[in-house]
Structure 1
């Protein structure tokens, strides 16, 4: 049974979310003390976190940073604020998805299910190690290593890189990536994919590989093969 942590201070909304997700056999936890979110997170060890942006004491962005400094657990943001920059900020901090309030509970459930499938089932291939452009990619550990160092990617970043390398030197369309990542493009914005790819390219740039992910305007992305 997957353990889900819902970081939401609206008690009625939390109870509704818990009831809906429990019907799908998820083990759902809430936060008792919003000043000790990390302590409770560490104790629960959730498989996925749903977090509101507007929270007491510190906002959801703060707790996302804290969680990301310790864990790559998938994170879905909730927000009642109508600011596009909130979504961009969420993705830049390493969130996996973003839901605007008010939302239909079927959408939340679909996003939770898709994220769990993507994160915990996609890397079941027999071959977990891959070489690309002089680097070794460990799909299980979400690590890319070469003679310039080693970086750790988020689950989304690893998934995108894996899909691009599977079709190296060929264009992978944005629609294909969206469908592979989120399984239903109606539940994701085009801008979210852009943020994820830009973040992946920036991380790869730390070990000299950023230029090997190329954007084809109006078409998609391509992972070039070569030796740095």
Structure 2
């Protein structure tokens, strides 16, 4: 059964989350000290991390960045902070999702199940190397790597979902609903502004490769790719 690491310094909440996860058959790793989170993560190799923001010594953003240097496992932030900027910060620092306290434990379980399916289960990428080539811009979904000419960069799991749909459809318009369905396999409400954050992040990734304005916004319809560079012969 999958293992869940719960990084939460509120002992009562950590205990309740642990009991709820165990009730659904998950193995739980619940650190009692918060100055060696990365060391414990590397030692236990959990399938998913529930990560609070307000922690002793270093905050959740810090630990998320550290974990992302070693793993692409799903990371769900859990926090009492309700501000949009806090949620954007969580995504910008490598998080996959954000749950605001107080929360429904059923919602937490639904989110956990959804991300585990995406990462490892029935909706995970099939085995075998796939390549999506859009006029020389090459994406390897299983590696979560984006290549252009002599450059290669890694992308996050959510960025990978977004790139996979857009590059496969190429210059065909993809609706926002279709993108959100691909990126979040859940019946729970997802703020559309979250999709905007990922569009911005992917545009920045492409910019780092020297590609500008490749994702075109079609007002009222969605997005599509357009070639803004010369083909590679």
Alignment of 1:23 onto 2:26: no
Q: What SS does structure 1 have at the residue aligned with 2:170?
A: coil
Deviating 4+ runs (over 6 angstroms): none
Higher relative contact order (CA 8 A, sep 6+): 1
Structure 2 residue aligned with 1:70:
70
The CA RMSD measured in Å over matched residues stands at 1.8
Range with greater deviation from structure 2 (201-210 or 76-85)? 201-210
Aligned-pair distance for 1:150? Answer: 0.3
Structure 2 residue aligned with 1:45:
45
Q: What SS does structure 2 have at the residue aligned with 1:177?
A: helix
Output the TM-score relative to the length of structure 2: 0.91
Structure 1 residue aligned with 2:144:
142
Structure 2 residue aligned with 1:191:
193
Between the aligned partners of 2:25 and 2:166, the Cα distance in structure 1 is 34
Structure 2 residue aligned with 1:217:
219
Between the aligned partners of 1:148 and 1:211, the Cα distance in structure 2 is 20
Q: What SS does structure 2 have at the residue aligned with 1:124?
A: coil
Alignment of 1:93 onto 2:93: yes
1:181 pairs with one of 180, 183, 187: 183
Output the TM-score relative to the length of structure 1: 0.92
Pairs aligned (count): 228
Q: Could you report, residue by residue, the CA deviation over 1:18-73 in whole angstroms, capped at 9, with x for unpaired residues?
A: 11122222221111320111111110111111100111111111111111222222
Q: Unaligned stretches of 5+ in structure 2?
A: none
The answer (yes or no) to whether the contact 1:107–1:187 under 8 Å persists in 2 is: no
Distance change in 2, residues 1:225/1:124 (3 Å): farther
Q: Could you report, residue by residue, the CA deviation over 1:67-104 in whole angstroms, capped at 9, with x for unpaired residues?
A: 12222221110110222210011111121100011010
